[in-house]
Amino acid sequence: MILAILQARMSSSRLPGKVAMDANGQPMLAYEISRILQSQKIDQLVIATSTNPEDDMIEEIAKQCHIECFRGSLNNVLDRYYQCAKKYNATHIVRLTGDCPIIDANIIDAVIHLHLQSQADYTSNGVKRTFPDGMDTEIMTFATLQNAFLNAKTQEELEHVTYYIYTHPENFRIKHYCNDIDYSHIRWTLDYPKDYLLLKDIIQSQPNNTFSWKDLL
């Protein structure tokens, strides 16, 4: 079972509450969910947030979007992912983050396809960057996630779910999904107020939510 886990929280240090900011009459997080659900290869999408009361809003957005919400550790995001993956009996876990509201489901599916076809342990388009920032997609087997959960020790390894995996390439079969042209200088992610203004303009300029990343280029 391919489980997509979308991590989100209200307590962003650079732009607090960014996932709840308006995107054409709905929260940015809800807009991102609508984009992810266009994937043809994901079996289930779950939001993973923290148990902190301020993240009750994340759970409410999940309910409004008719998807499930898992709540776990705020800072040990690796533990949050592992416990969520165990609960839903995932064989493969797609990691997505709440700061990529215009992520393209075609990229998600392409990363999943490469991962399954190559029988990799971990596949990403973000370690070797060639896509615009904001298209980040990672997928790993449950065994790989479990390996990281059991062996990761540092704060960086616990906070950044896949850091242990891609910094120990000798232990895993790793694949990189790359574009022919390097567009990594383009920024379509939500971290700062200027990012919000750009993304809001992009979303308002599109007649629907099915546009591709290539349409925006």
Read off the pLDDT of residues 101-153 as tens digits, 9 standing for 90 and up. Answer: 999 999 999 999 999 999 999 999 999 999 999 999 999 999 999 999 999 99
Which neighbouring-strand residues pair with 50?
Answer: 72
Residue pair 42/91 in contact (Cβ under 8 Å)? The answer is no
Read off the pLDDT of residues 158-194 as tens digits, 9 standing for 90 and up. Answer: 999 999 999 999 999 999 999 999 999 999 999 999 9
> Got the DSSP string for 138-160?
EEEEHHHHHHHHHH--SHHHHHS
Read off the pLDDT of residues 68-108 as tens digits, 9 standing for 90 and up. Answer: 999 999 999 999 999 999 999 999 999 999 999 999 999 99
State which H helix or E strand residue 134 sits in. Answer: none
- What the chain holds in terms of domains, given with CATH numbers, is 2-216 (3.90.550.10)
pTM of the model: 0.96
